[in-house]
Amino acid sequence: MTARILDGKAISQQIQQELALEVVRLREQTGVTPKLVAVLTGDDPASQVYVRNKERACQRVGMQGVVHRLPAETSQAELLALVGKLNADAAVHGILVQLPLPRGLDATPILDGIDPAKDVDCFHPQNVGLLAQGRPRFLPCTPHGVQQILFRSGLPTAGKRVVIVGRSDIVGKPLALLLAARTSPFGPEYANATVTLAHSRTPELAEVTRGAEIVVAAAGQPELVTGEMLTPGATVIDVGVNRVGDKLVGDVEFASASRVAGAITPVPGGVGPLTIAMLLGNTLTAARLAAGL
Ligand code: GUN
């Protein structure tokens, strides 16, 4: 068997076209243009690329995208002060502090300092709590992107066994909440999964993943999930982005997995492009909420 390739780039472009229309509609209704501010501290090369991509994506859909670039020597107090200034600026709808922060800076108090109504990453404890209770304000970008790929590929999750490999606060944990929920923005067919949250200390990981109809790899370990860990026909979603030498590889060994899976996302061009589209969607949501819509 050769797996169907799930083209995240094409799905993301489709969503961005839809968002562009909604941005025009919001402007006509309210005069407001959604504005996202990203804060980039230090000179991590990957972060520089990510932030530039976010800025460009904003412009593509007609939103304002602004990047504040701060030196690696920035103090905790200076970064907190910038967040406070952005919180107070009514023209700013979304604030994103790019991670990882340089050594010496503590991310938690900075992220906790973002106004929850502008927290388009959905990292603030208030937004995580609302999500856990099934009444989200924002949806976390990468987990929502995974759900979008499944929905737009016609791969429902209700009644399915989903194994998520990786328990991070950014992907694994919130994705488990989304897929185990009673319903989703796409209706109940794209929630109601039986979710197993596996991780680096899960014994017999291959046995666990072999029991799944949908496997999501989000452990941050290059090519951790191989074809022999899958049941034939499984859907495989690869959230990993690992630089190995000069190559970008996922958390799935694509060559072996794509011979066993029924459908699979590539790296690059799978989940990554969706994360940005979902960030734009949250910025639109934040602008709408700020306008009282
Ligand atoms: N660094 C890598 N991914 C992310 C993300 O989704 N949000 C933020 N703020 N930083 C990141």
Tell me the CA–centroid distance for residue 256 and ligand 1, in Å: 29
Q: Cβ(121) to ligand 1 under 6 A?
A: yes
- Give residue 1's pLDDT: 73
Question: Closest Cα to atom 2, ligand 1: which residue?
Answer: 99
Q: Which amino acid is at 276?
A: I
| Long-range CB pairs of 78-86, under 8 A, 24+ apart, other chains included | 79/39, 79/41, 79/105, 79/110, 80/109, 80/110, 80/113, 82/39, 83/39, 83/110, 83/113, 83/114, 84/113, 86/37, 86/39, 86/118
Q: Cβ(37) to ligand 1 under 6 A?
A: no
Choosing from 49, 99, 169 the residue with most ligand 1 atoms within 8 A of its CB, the one to mutate for a pocket test is: 99
Q: Is the overall model pTM greater than 0.85, yes or no?
A: yes
Question: Closest Cα to atom 11, ligand 1: which residue?
Answer: 99
pLDDT of residue 29 exceeding 80, the answer is yes
Q: Which amino acid is at 140?
A: P
User: What integer is the mean pLDDT of 207-223?
Assistant: 98
Q: Cβ(99) to ligand 1 under 6 A?
A: yes
Residues 178-198: tens digit of each pLDDT: 999 999 999 999 999 999 999
Q: Which atom of ligand 1 is nearest to the CA of 141?
A: 6
Clarify whether 98 is annotated catalytic: yes
* Residue 158: pLDDT band with limits 50, 70, 90: very high
Q: Cβ(96) to ligand 1 under 6 A?
A: yes
Residues 235-256: tens digit of each pLDDT: 999 999 999 999 999 999 999 9
